[in-house]
Amino acid sequence: MSLDSKTLKENYYKSLVSCLEQLVKVYRHLLEVVRQEKEILIASELDELAENNKGKEATLIKLKSLETQRIKHAKDLAGVCGVDIEQPRLLEIAAHFSGAQANKLHNLHSVLDLLVRRVNDLNKENEQLVQSALRSISGAMDSIKDEYQDKNTYGDKGGMKASKNIGASILSKDV
């Protein structure tokens, strides 16, 4: 390997590691945001939920940008290492390094993998909380709707007729 390709490999490595470290920070922040979201959902504080969702959206936008950079850096480094450029895998790239550099890539891979799994798990729990709340709200709405719908009562000649219901059913004074 020539000096230029060695320098290029080193520069690509540093760029990728820097990007991965930024991803770790942002994923940690996202994990905290998702944890806060769970607490807010449990406490049913809708104003805080809206504010939390704005922060979550901004974090996801930043993650998308970093992910684009990560892919570019991984492809650059994969090209120099002789690894599949179209689908560069961090562990395959790490195999082309030794010592501290390989360990660094393995550690970053493990940390990111763990963070992504935790975020996904918490997101699923939050989704279940939201679905449960929606079922409760739907049930309450159905109950209210049933309460205010017309009820059938007996008419003057013993037939059924619909009466306007305002709250609870009221017996007619004519009885």
Structural contact between residues 1 and 9, judged by C-beta atoms closer than 8 angstroms: yes
Question: Does the pLDDT of residue 164 top 60, yes or no?
Answer: no
pLDDT score of 89: 93
79-83, 97-101, 166-170, range with the lowest pLDDT:
166-170
* HEC profile of the chain: CCHHHHHHHHHHHHHHHHHHHHHHHHHHHHHHHHHHHHHHHHHCCHHHHHHHHHHHHHHHHHHHHHHHHHHHHHHHHHHHHCCCCCCCCHHHHHCCCCHHHHHHHHHHHHHHHHHHHHHHHHHHHHHHHHHHHHHHHHHHHHHHHHHHCCEEEECCCCCEEEECCCCCCCCCCCC
- Global pTM value: 0.75
Domains, the chain, ordered by start = 3-148 (1.20.58.300)
Q: Please compute the mean of the pLDDT values over residues 80-85 and round it to a whole number.
A: 91
Residue of 162 and 6 predicted with greater confidence: 6
The 10 Å Cβ neighbour count of residue 107 is 13
